[in-house]
Structure 1
Amino acid sequence: MAQGDSPPPCKYFNLTYPLPFVAHVEINRPEKLNAFTDAVWAELPPLFSHLSTSPSTRAIILSGAGTKAFTTGLDVQAFSSPSSALNPQATSKLDTARTAQYLRRHIDDFQAAITSIEKCSKPVIAAINGWCLGLGIDISVCADVRICAKDTRFAVKEVDIGLAADIGTLSRLPKVVGNGSWVKDVCLTARIFTASEAESVGFVSWVGKTGGKEEVISEALRIAEVMASKSPVAVQSTKELLNWSWSRSVEDGLRYTSVWNSAALQSEDVMESVKSGMEKRKARFAKL
């Protein structure tokens, strides 16, 4: 990384750079199957905010430490402890209206933490293996690309613990998959679905052939290296325009693209792309 381009301190996330301009973020609680506590999700927004603006980062891989899980979701035991913001004891002296406001603020903060992945200006590749449950689905649908190992098992588990998923799955999964019947099936039953089923409905775009984490990380590195080799102006512009247009009309998307590219087309990267092609050499792009 460039001098002065230092990430925030993290206990529950590992950050490495296995390739030039490619960041690898690992959720780091393998002994707990990478389950989330208050402390874990609090570290997420500062980390992805840093990566979003870091000139040393052009593509990001997100995975779970260890070999058993991407994440099994919320650490239910930790969230039921007296110190957790969701423990009923925290609101036992409040009336209904104040309890609702307290919980809404907490849910809003949690939603914002996970949305920091989606809002990151750099493309994020979710490299999933093992168990991906509950919050793991919330995180996955915020990523730009989802790939998984053959042995991955998914589930939208919230109804099994008496909740409607509230961190993003119910809003994003129907748009990601485009099959309302299948989405309601997995969300209302909390049933486990396989990697092959996830691929068949379009939830993931690639499934490994041999199983295990090593293969999926290798594929994620291949994809990230290609992304990082492109113009950072072009890649970040493309993500911005795709995300902005996702829930808007074609007309609105075209208008926003016109305004955006009136600035982006002035980048030196356009000429460098053309020259490198003519000279049959690898393009070299300045940091952004």
Structure 2
Amino acid sequence: MREYQSLAVEQHGPVAHVMINRPAKANSMDEAFWSEMVEIFEWVDTTDSVRVAVISGAGRCFSAGIDLNMLAQAAGSMVSDIGRNAERIRRNILRLQAAFNAVDECRKPVIAAIHGYCIGGAIDLIAACDMRYATTDAHFSIKEIDVGMAADVGTLQRLPRLIGDGIMRELAYTGRAVYGEEAERIGLVNRVYPDHASLLEAVMDIARQIAAKSPLAIRGTKEMIRYSRDHSVADGLNYIATWNAAMLQSEDLKLAVAAQMSKKPAEFAD
């Protein structure tokens, strides 16, 4: 795996640890970040030996969101024609959305470990993850409203399904800060921990627990959850019936049943 400009990746057995790695800039999301996210999560998706991904921030925080210098450069590239500006802006927004779609659409579970600032674009990122865990001092804010724009990289589309419509609207309209314990109470994160070290230890333990399960069963479970989010109950039931018509013939099912009966852990192929 090559070295990256804005991210760092380590593989610990079946767990890939992806770190936003611009600590001197509060892990703000610069131009390189967006293309590197797509590349890295394509690698996570297609590398059989990786079964779970954890994403965290290096240094003092998770991420302060999009790099404002990047926004300034985009503003400086505008031309006089409104239509051409609109086409350019739209194309760029879709490019940014693709970075977090890569997380959402990854076949492997992705877990966010959040400490310190998690604002603006960082909320878009964690909303695309499967689960979120945080420190008690984690600071969440849908900050886009304070710079005169609507969040456009996934927060407004994904967050209502995590914390409910009413509280999402309050946070999106006011931009107010939410800290770790409130984030847990409203369902933004699953659990909070007293410090960054205990957070990472716990999240890595959860990742290893998931990695020990049948990768086909985990794949099917994530696919069904994602599909059911965007379809009716009837559609979801029909899809799982078709999916499991094949997957229930997997060797993993026999191994899992035998392990349950013998009370010994199963070892599944990648």
TM-score normalized with structure 2 length:
0.97
User: Residues 27-52 of structure 1, C-alpha deviation per residue, up to 9 Å, x if partnerless?
Assistant: 00011110001111111101101101
- Counterpart among 42, 49, 56 of residue 42 in structure 2: 49
Q: Which residue of 2 aligns with 1:4?
A: none
Question: 1:53: Cα distance to partner?
Answer: 1.2
Partner of 2:62: 70
Partner residue in 2 for 1:197: 182
What does residue 124 of structure 1 align with? 110
- Tell me, in whole angstroms, the C-alpha distance in 1 between the residues paired with 2:22 and 2:126: 17
Could you tell me how far 1:77 is from its partner in structure 2?
2.6
- The alignment of Structure 1 onto Structure 2 pairs a total of residues equal to 270
Q: Hey, which bits of structure 1, 4+ residues long, moved more than 4 A?
A: none
SS of 2:257's equivalent in the other structure is helix
1:185-264 equivalences in 2 (<5 Å): 185-208=170-193, 210=194, 212-264=195-247
Determine if the alignment matches structure 1 residue 152 to structure 2 residue 152: no
- Measured against aligned partners, the alpha-carbon deviations of 1:127-168 in whole angstroms (never above 9, x if no partner) come to 000000001100011000001011101000001111100000
Tell me which residue corresponds to 2:129: 143
Determine the structure 2 residue equivalent to 1:29: 22
Q: In the alignment, is the contact (CA less than 8 A) between 1:64 and 1:70 conserved in 2?
A: yes
Distance 1:170 1:117 in 2: 16
Whole-angstrom CA distance in 1 between matches of 2:68 and 2:238: 45
8 Å Cα contact 1:37-1:79 kept in structure 2 = no
Please report how far the alpha carbon of residue 174 of structure 1 lies from its aligned counterpart in structure 2 after TM superposition.
Answer: 0.8
State the distance in 2 between where 1:116 and 1:8 align. 19
Q: Does structure 1 retain, via aligned residues, the 8 Å contact 2:5–2:32?
A: no
Shift of 1:201: 1.0
Deviation (angstroms), 1:11: 2.1
Please state if 1:14 is matched with 2:8: yes
2:29 touches 2:66 (CA, 8 Å); kept in 1?
A: yes
Distance 1:265 1:22 in 2: 25
Matched-pair contact (CA < 8 Å) for 1:27–1:65: yes
**By how many angstroms is 1:8 displaced?**
5.1
Query: What secondary structure sits across from 1:71 in the alignment?
Result: coil
Q: Are the counterparts in 2 of residues 126 and 145 from structure 1 also a CA contact under 8 Å?
A: yes
- Whole-Å separation in 1 of the counterparts to 2:159 and 2:121: 12
Show structure 1 runs of 5+ residues with no match. Answer: 1-6
Query: Does the 8 A contact of 1:25 with 1:62 survive in 2?
Result: yes
167, 171, 193: which is aligned to 2:157? Answer: 171
Partner Cα separation in structure 1 for residue 148 and residue 207 of structure 2? 38
- The structure whose residues are more often helix, as a share, is 2
Match of 2:78 in 1: 91
Check the 8 A contact 1:59/1:228 in 2, yes or no. Answer: yes
Instruction: Tell me, yes or no, if the aligned pair for 2:38 and 2:99 is still in contact at 8 Å.
Output: yes
1:252-281 deviations in Å (ceiling 9; x for gaps): 100011111111112110001111222332
CA distance in 1, matches of 2:5, 2:224: 33
Separation in structure 2 between the aligned mates of residue 33 and residue 53 of structure 1, nearest angstrom: 30
Q: Describe how 1:270-285 pairs up with structure 2 within 5 A.
A: 270-285=253-268
Change (3 A) 1:38 1:51: same
Q: Is the 8 A contact 2:6 2:20 kept in 1?
A: yes
1:39 aligns with: 32
Secondary structure at 2:4's aligned position in 1?
coil
8 A contact 1:16–1:25 mirrored in 2 = yes
RMSD: 1.2
